[in-house]
Structure 1
Amino acid sequence: MSKTIIISNRLPLQINLENNNLEVTPSVGGLATGLKSFHKDGDSIWIGWSGLTEEEIPENLLEDVKEKARKEDCVAVNLSEEEIEGFYYGFSNRTIWPLFHYFMEYTEADKDHWEIYKSVNKKYAEEVLKHYEDGDHIWVHDYQLLLVPNMIREQQPEAIIGFFNHIPFPSYEVFRTLPWRDEVLKGVLGADLIGFHTYDYERHFLSSVSRILRHQVSFNEITLPERIVKVDSFPMGIDYNKFEDAALNHFKNTEEQRTELQRRLDHHTNETPEAKLILSIDRLDYTKGIANRIRAFEYFLDNHPEFIEKVRLVMLAVPSRSNVPQYQRLKREIDE
Structure 2
Amino acid sequence: MSGSPLVIVYHRQPLEEVMVDGKIHYRTNKSPNGIVPTLKSFFNHLGEEAGSWVAWKTFDPEVGVDFEKVVTVEDPFGDYRVSRLPLTKEQVESFYHVTSKEALWPILHSFPDRYRYDNVDWETFREVNRAFAEAAAEEVADDGLVWVHDYNLWLVPLYLRRIKPDVKIAFFHHTPFPGPDVFNVLPWRREIVNALLDCDLVGFHLPRYARNFAEVARSLMGATMGEAIPVDPVLATPGMALSEPDVPEKVTFEGRDVLLGVAPVGCNASLVDSILATEENKALQAQLLSELDGRRLIMTVGRTDYTKGMVESLCAFERLLERRPELIGKVKMLATSVRAAAQMTVYEGTQRDIEGLVGRINGRFSTLDWTPVVLFGQAIPFEKLVAYYAIADVCLTAPLRDGLNLVAKEYVASKAGNPGVLILSEFAGCAVELPQAMLTNPYSNRSLDNALDTALATPPEEAAAAMAAMAKEVATYDLGHWAAVTREQFTKIDRVRAGARPTEAAA
TM (norm. structure 2) is 0.58
Q: Deviations over 1:251-293 (max 9, x none)?
A: 33698xxxxxx6xx87652123422222222112111011111
Shift in Å, 1:238? 2.5
Deviates more, 1:5-14 or 1:186-195: 5-14
Shift in Å, 1:246? 2.4
Q: What is the aligned partner in structure 2 of residue 204 from structure 1?
A: 212
**Cα 1:317/1:154, change in 2 over 3 Å:** same
Shift in Å, 1:56? 8.4
Of 308, 312, 320 in structure 1, the residue corresponding to residue 332 of structure 2 is 312
**Cα 1:269/1:38, change in 2 over 3 Å:** farther
Shift in Å, 1:22? 5.4
**Cα 1:198/1:208, change in 2 over 3 Å:** same
Matched, 1:252 2:280: yes
Over the residues paired in the alignment, what is the CA RMSD in angstroms? Answer: 3.0
Q: Deviations over 1:145-191 (max 9, x none)?
A: 00111221122222111100000111210111110000000111111
Q: What CA distance in whole angstroms lies between the structure 2 residues aligned with 1:113 and 1:27?
A: 35
Percent identity among equivalent residues?
30
Shift in Å, 1:224? 2.0
Q: What CA distance in whole angstroms lies between the structure 1 residues aligned with 2:327 and 2:61?
A: 51
Of 4, 18, 42 in structure 1, the residue corresponding to residue 6 of structure 2 is 4
Q: What CA distance in whole angstroms lies between the structure 2 residues aligned with 1:26 and 1:57?
A: 29
Q: What CA distance in whole angstroms lies between the structure 1 residues aligned with 2:118 and 2:23?
A: 37
1:331 aligned counterpart, secondary structure: helix
Query: Aligned partner of 2:264: which letter?
Result: P
**Cα 1:15/1:2, change in 2 over 3 Å:** closer
Checking the alignment, whether the CA contact within 8 Å between 1:91 and 1:110 is kept in structure 2 is no
1:135 aligned counterpart, secondary structure: strand
Deviates more, 1:28-37 or 1:107-116: 28-37
Q: Deviations over 1:65-121 (max 9, x none)?
A: 744x64563221111112111111111111111111112122122475211110000
Structure 2: give runs of 5+ residues left out of the alignment: 229-247, 357-507
Q: What CA distance in whole angstroms lies between the structure 2 residues aligned with 1:109 and 1:30?
A: 32
Checking the alignment, whether the CA contact within 8 Å between 2:65 and 2:86 is kept in structure 1 is no
Tell me the number of residue pairs that the alignment of Structure 1 and Structure 2 aligns: 323
Q: What CA distance in whole angstroms lies between the structure 2 residues aligned with 1:7 and 1:105?
A: 31
Q: What CA distance in whole angstroms lies between the structure 1 residues aligned with 2:306 and 2:178?
A: 17
Q: How does 1:1-336 map to 2 (within 5 A)?
A: 3-13=5-15, 15=17, 26=29, 30-32=34-36, 34-39=38-43, 43-50=50-57, 53-55=58-60, 61-63=66-68, 66-67=70-71, 70-71=73-74, 73=80, 74-110=82-118, 113-218=121-226, 219=228, 220=248, 221-249=250-278, 251-252=279-280, 268-336=288-356
Q: What CA distance in whole angstroms lies between the structure 1 residues aligned with 2:105 and 2:65?
A: 36
Larger Rg: 2
Query: Aligned partner of 1:308: which letter?
Result: I
Shift in Å, 1:207? 0.7
Q: What CA distance in whole angstroms lies between the structure 2 residues aligned with 1:271 and 1:3?
A: 53
Structure 1: give runs of 5+ residues left out of the alignment: 256-261
Query: Aligned partner of 2:251: which letter?
Result: I
Query: Aligned partner of 1:11: which letter?
Result: Q
Checking the alignment, whether the CA contact within 8 Å between 1:109 and 1:179 is kept in structure 2 is no
Q: What CA distance in whole angstroms lies between the structure 2 residues aligned with 1:23 and 1:270?
A: 42
Query: Aligned partner of 2:127: which letter?
Result: S
Checking the alignment, whether the CA contact within 8 Å between 1:146 and 1:187 is kept in structure 2 is yes
Q: What CA distance in whole angstroms lies between the structure 2 residues aligned with 1:56 and 1:17?
A: 23
Query: Aligned partner of 1:49: which letter?
Result: W
Query: Aligned partner of 1:332: which letter?
Result: R
1:301 aligned counterpart, secondary structure: helix
TM (norm. structure 1) is 0.85
